[in-house]
Every structure is written in structure tokens, then in C-alpha cells.
Structure 1
Amino acid sequence: MEIILKEDIIGLGFKNDIVNVKAGYGRNYLIPQGKGVIASPSAKKVLAENLKQQARKLAAIKAEAEKKAEALKDVALVIEMKVSANGVTYGSVNAATVAAELQKKGFDIDRKIVTMHDAKKVGDFVATVHFHKEVLVEVPVKVVAENAVPEVEAPKAEETTVEE
């Protein structure tokens, strides 16, 4: 029995897939639960038309995501945190912190689309922003100590030669 799935079913298929299942599974579970419909010729035509329309919408959404990703491509964040003597931060830098820093720089990014392992030490990390399932941007994040004295090279003394 051919069924058009209405939602993702683990081990069977994804939404809008046409799958072959046993008649009892289709009749007694998938169709009554609203998880699928019989793949009749008319249902297949409707599915094909819906997929065409969705493809246009998805292309527009992906183009918008690529535009946002291009704007964020060259951004690097420096986040100041209070740090203990051995370089461990009080608290951690996480996806919400990165989203807040991006917000300060003028990027409207939801914290839910940012993934990052919590940074609990001073150093360099990478946060990934997921604009679309195919459009990802990696943002370098540098965690530094708050009120840290920037390392400045000491002026070099001019070499003098002693003439005898």
C-alpha cells in the first residue's frame, strides 16, 4: 500500500515522502492518526503541485538567509568576562551571550539559532549561526578578561656602542 506521509515518522520517512507500507499499518494506524493519506493518482498530483509551490517559497527563504549570512560573514566578537587568577570565567559565554553581543552590533539574531559550546575559560571559540538548514555562518568569539591590561611592547632601548 502506498502512503503519502503528512509528517516525519522515524524509521519510515519524512513529510511528503511516498512510502510502501503493509496494508494493516496504513489502514489502522497512519491514516486514522492523520499521519498519512493513500497515494492515489489525484493525491500524487496535489503533492507534486504543493512541492513546486514550496520549492519557490523555500528558494526565497534560502536567498534571504544567504543575504543575512553575507552580512554576518566578517564579524568577530570579543567578549569581556570576569576571570579568576587561573583563567576560568565566573559564569560562561554561551549562545545567549553571543546573540546579545550580536544584538549590540546591530544584527537581529535570535538566540535559538545560535549554537556554541559554553566557554568557561579565556580563549578563542566558534559560535555557529543557523539561518537555514543549508546556510550556516561561523562567528569567531574571543573571550578575554575584564579590565585586562593589553599587552604593549616595551620601547626598545637603542643600542649604543662604546668606543674606546
Structure 2
Amino acid sequence: MNVILRNKVEGLGLRGDIVEVAEGYARNFLFPKGHALKASPGAMDQAAKMRTSRDQKDQTAREAATAIASSLVPKTITISAKASSEGKLFGSISAADVADAVKAQTDIDIDRKSIEVDNIKTVGAHTATASLHSDVSFPINIEVVAAE
């Protein structure tokens, strides 16, 4: 049975996609949850509009992510943390710490869930990776300094 997806369905497709699914899956899961509607000629036009809307939103999100990346890549974010005299931190730097520091120093709000931080437990220069869009991933330069 051909259905038009009204929402993103994991493992199946995105909003506006026309997909072939088993009749029972459509009748028992997709239709009652409002995730899909039966593909008919009138619904095909609606699906085309959904795809156009999705593509425009995706393009806008990609452009915004690219603008944020171009402004953050040349900068170095400084984070102060308690450290021993040997330069080892008491604890570690998390993605939330990086997101807070980026917000405080550049006024750019990045969700902590989109930042990947390797185990930062020493003072010095480190790098975190931010993925703001499926096509836009960039490094964030971090300088960890000992708090006075």
C-alpha cells in the first residue's frame, strides 16, 4: 500500500515522502498515530507541497548552521576550571560547559546535545565538534585554563 508520510518516521522516511508499506502497518500504526495518509491523486499534490516546505526549512537551517560555523571556527573559546598544579582538572569539561562558554563569549546559543566533547581532563588547547545540521559539522577550539 502506498502512503504519504505526514511526519518523519524513523527508518521509513521524511515528511511528504511517498512510501510503500504493508497494509497492516499502515492501518494499525501509521494511520491511527497520524503519521501517514493514504496516497490518492489529491494527496499527491499535498505531498509535493510538504516536500517543498521541508526542503525550504532544510535550506534555511543549513544556511543558519553555516553562518554559525563560519563565525565560530576562527575563535577560541576559553573555559576556566579548577585544576591541580600539574594541570589536571578536578573533574572534566562537558558539552554543557562548552555550550555555556560559547553563549557567554560569543552570544551564539548552541544546544549541548549537538556538541561532542572528547574526555577533556587537562589544562590546554582542545577541540570539540559541533553538528548543527546533517550537512554542517565543525570544530570548536577550546582553551582550558586553571581557575585562580
Instruction: Give the TM interval when normalised to the shorter protein.
Output: 0.7 to 0.9
Share of identical aligned residues, percent?
A: 31
Is 1:138 aligned to residue 127 of structure 2?
no
Residue of structure 2 in register with 1:69 after alignment: 69
Deviation at 1:116, TM superposition (A): 1.5
Deviation at 1:94, TM superposition (A): 1.4
Q: Structure 1: how far apart are the matches of 2:24 and 2:100?
A: 52
SS at match of 2:62: helix
Residue of structure 2 in register with 1:34 after alignment: 34
Quickly say closer, same or farther: Cα 1:111–1:11, change in 2 above 3 A: closer
Equivalent residue pairs, number: 147
Give the number of the structure whose residues are more often strand, by fraction: 2
**1:115-150 deviation per Cα after TM superposition (whole angstroms, max 9, x unaligned):** 313412234321122332222221122324345xxx
Q: Structure 2: how far apart are the matches of 1:53 and 1:7?
A: 12
Residue of structure 1 in register with 2:9 after alignment: 9
Structure 1 residue runs without a partner (length 5+): 148-164
Instruction: Using the TM superposition, name which of 39-48 and 59-68 deviates more.
Output: 59-68
After TM superposition, the structure 1 = structure 2 runs for residues 72-91 of structure 1, keeping only pairs within 5 Å, are 72-91=72-91
- The one-letter amino acid of 1:143's match is V
RMSD: 2.4
Q: What is the TM-score with the length of structure 2 in the denominator?
A: 0.80
Structure 2 residue runs without a partner (length 5+): none
